[in-house]
């Protein structure tokens, strides 16, 4: 092969920023993890749906999809001459399916999904622009038990992979906005106060909140482990609507803590970043020692059948972060079978978990060939021989 040809091959491997090939054994490992989590979701009665990779822009970006419009790749459909979008998030698609194809299905409706998404740009914590999502949506109920179910289900899906030391951060992303309106805080002051709360800057919060400073100072103190944060939040003198939100949060915490006491629950009532379309209790999943979020979820308003709003909650798990959180995949035991090996022996080995790599031509040194093909064992004359690989 000439230098020019080698250069051409190297050029073929160059991919756009944020995109990468999945190689052995990682691609198979990821697929197995996805199916393990889907099986867990199915055990709770969540039925799998499979939305298309792209669809018409006006349906893809309707309802909750509007909040990810800036992250959506667009292209023209050469057949219909209408604009289409490549999905940046699968939740809006599942909500559309629930409203249209499954509009007459009895509620609550439990659906799950898995697939790739593509985004216009990454960020510092997630530079990947294409990654796999696994998730579930519960539509047709606004009961606190529904919120508790999806929190517990998300944790159970992660634990099914062997993940431990999970932490779930619970938030009420609409709480601060409701308080700003109830307290008649001006738009400019509200922006300054929201920015200060995002930074957890107590001095700036105090300066921006004016006469309401004690209340917002109290919200900042109501952050942390649920055992301390929730009582602090309940002790605040909140307007009626905010008290109802906090009461709902307390019900969810009580049920999750009772049914999954091993989970670490924290509360952050002022966090709203990243909850673009959430309309109520929301949550983010973390694991000790793992950079980034394992997933997030919460309440949102889905467009229901005949345009009637469908009360919904759900979650999405991010496979790129999950793969970083789990131990490196171990290859299955591989055995080299020289050409002419008895097929019955090969079937027997595969039935007991071996990966069989069959020779296609006679070779002078089967042992060397097994080493070349990265097989840890060689089957010769019906006997397994261990192979040392460098």
Residue 11 belongs to a domain: no
How do residues 334-345 score in pLDDT, each as one tens digit? Answer: 999 999 999 999
Q: Residues 278, 139: one domain? A: yes
Give the list of residues 6+ apart from residue 44 with CB closer than 8 angstroms, or none: 110, 136, 149, 153, 156
Q: Residues 38, 155: one domain? A: yes
At residue 1, does pLDDT exceed 60? Answer: no
Q: Residues 181, 60: one domain? A: no
Secondary structure, 3-state, the chain: CCHHHHHHHHHHCCCCCCCCCCCCCHHHHHHHHHHHHHHHHHHCCCEECCCCCEEEHHHHCCHHHHHHHHHCEEEECCCCCCEEEECCCCHHHHHHHHHCCCCCCCCCEEEEEEEEEECCCCCCCCCCCEEEEEEEEEECCCCHHHHHHHHHHHHHHHHCCCCCCEEEEEECCCHHHHHHHHCCCCHHHHHHHHHHHHHCCHHHHHHHHHHHHHHHHHHHHCCEEHHHHHHHHHCCCCCHHHHHHHHHHHHHHHHHHHHCCCCEEEEECCCCCCCCCEEEEEEEEEECCCCCCCEEEEEEEEECHHHCEEEEEEEEEEHHHHHHHCCCCCCCCEEEECCCCCHHHHHHHHHCCCEEEECCCCCCCHHHHHHHCCCCEEEECCEEEECCCC
- CATH code of the domain in which 302 resides: 3.30.930.10
User: Which has more pLDDT, 99 or 390?
Assistant: 99
Place of tokens 């250069």: 7
Q: Residues 108, 136: one domain? A: yes
Average pLDDT of the chain? 91
At residue 179, does pLDDT exceed 60? Answer: yes
Q: Which residues pair with 282 in a beta bridge?
A: 171, 298
Q: Residues 95, 150: one domain? A: yes
* Complete edge-to-edge strand list for the sheet that includes strand 166-171: 47-48, 109-118, 130-139, 309-318, 295-303, 278-287, 166-171, 264-268, 224-225
Q: Residues 157, 71: one domain? A: yes
Q: Which pLDDT band, with edges at 50, 70 and 90, does 184 fall under?
A: confident
How do residues 301-319 score in pLDDT, each as one tens digit? Answer: 887 555 556 789 999 999 9
Distance in angstroms between the alpha carbons of the first and the last residue of the chain: 27
Instruction: Count how many domains the chain has.
Output: 3
Q: Residues 102, 199: one domain? A: no
Cα separation of 97 and 95, whole Å? 5
At residue 3, does pLDDT exceed 70? Answer: no
Residue 81 belongs to a domain: yes
The most confident of 1-15, 199-213, 217-231, by mean pLDDT:
217-231
Lowest mean pLDDT among 121-135, 169-183, 252-266: 121-135
Residue 21 belongs to a domain: no
How do residues 45-103 score in pLDDT, each as one tens digit? Answer: 999 999 999 999 998 988 788 888 899 999 999 999 999 999 999 999 999 999 999 99
Considering only CA atoms, which of 111, 117, 107, 83 is closest in space to residue 96? 111
Residue 264 belongs to a domain: no
Range of the domain at 73: 26-174+272-325
Using alpha carbons, list the distances in angstroms from residue 70 to 66, 89, 371: 9, 12, 50
% the chain with pLDDT above 90: 71
Residue 20 belongs to a domain: no
Q: Residues 365, 233: one domain? A: no
Q: Residues 157, 85: one domain? A: yes
At residue 5, does pLDDT exceed 60? Answer: no
Q: Residues 136, 51: one domain? A: yes
Task: Take residue 193 and report the two structure tokens written for it.
Answer: 């106060």
Q: Residues 244, 296: one domain? A: no
């Amino acid at each position: 092969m000439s230098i020019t040809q080698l250069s051409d091959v190297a050029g073929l491997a160059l991919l756009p920023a944020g995109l990468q090939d999945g190689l052995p054994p990682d691609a198979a490992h990821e697929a197995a993890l996805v199916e393990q989590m889907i099986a867990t979701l199915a055990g709770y009665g969540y039925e799998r749906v499979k939305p298309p990779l792209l669809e018409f822009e006006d349906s893809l970006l309707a309802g909750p999809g509007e909040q990810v419009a800036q992250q959506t790749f667009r292209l023209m459909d050469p057949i219909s001459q209408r604009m289409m979008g490549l999905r940046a998030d699968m939740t809006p698609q599942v909500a559309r399916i629930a409203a249209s194809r499954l509009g007459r299905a009895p509620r609550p409706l439990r659906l799950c999904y898995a697939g790739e998404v593509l985004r216009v740009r990454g960020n510092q914590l997630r530079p990947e622009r294409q990654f796999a999502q696994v998730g579930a949506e519960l539509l047709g109920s606004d009961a606190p038990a529904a919120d508790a179910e999806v929190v517990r289900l998300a944790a159970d899906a992660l634990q099914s992979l062997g993940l431990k030391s999970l932490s779930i951060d619970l938030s009420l992303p609409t709480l601060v906005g409701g308080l700003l309106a109830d307290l008649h805080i001006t738009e400019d002051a509200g922006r300054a106060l929201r920015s200060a709360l995002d930074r957890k800057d107590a001095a700036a919060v105090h300066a921006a909140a004016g006469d309401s400073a004690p209340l917002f100072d109290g919200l900042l103190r109501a952050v942390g482990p649920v055992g301390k944060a929730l009582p602090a939040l309940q002790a605040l003198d909140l307007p009626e609507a905010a008290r109802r939100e906090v009461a709902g949060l307390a019900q969810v915490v009580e049920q999750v803590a009772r049914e999954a006491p091993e989970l670490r629950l924290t509360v952050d009532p002022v966090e709203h970043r990243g909850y673009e379309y959430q309309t109520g209790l929301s949550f983010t999943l973390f694991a000790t020692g793992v950079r980034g979020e394992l997933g997030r979820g919460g309440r949102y308003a889905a467009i229901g059948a005949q345009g009637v709003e469908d009360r919904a909650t759900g979650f999405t798990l991010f496979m790129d972060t999950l793969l970083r959180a789990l131990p490196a995949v171990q290859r299955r035991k591989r055995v080299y079978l020289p050409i002419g090996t008895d097929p019955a022996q090969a079937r027997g080995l595969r039935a007991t978990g071996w990966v069989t790599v069959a020779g296609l031509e006679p070779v002078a040194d089967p042992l060397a060939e097994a080493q070349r093909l990265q097989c840890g064992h060689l089957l010769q004359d019906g006997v397994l021989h261990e192979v040392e690989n460098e």
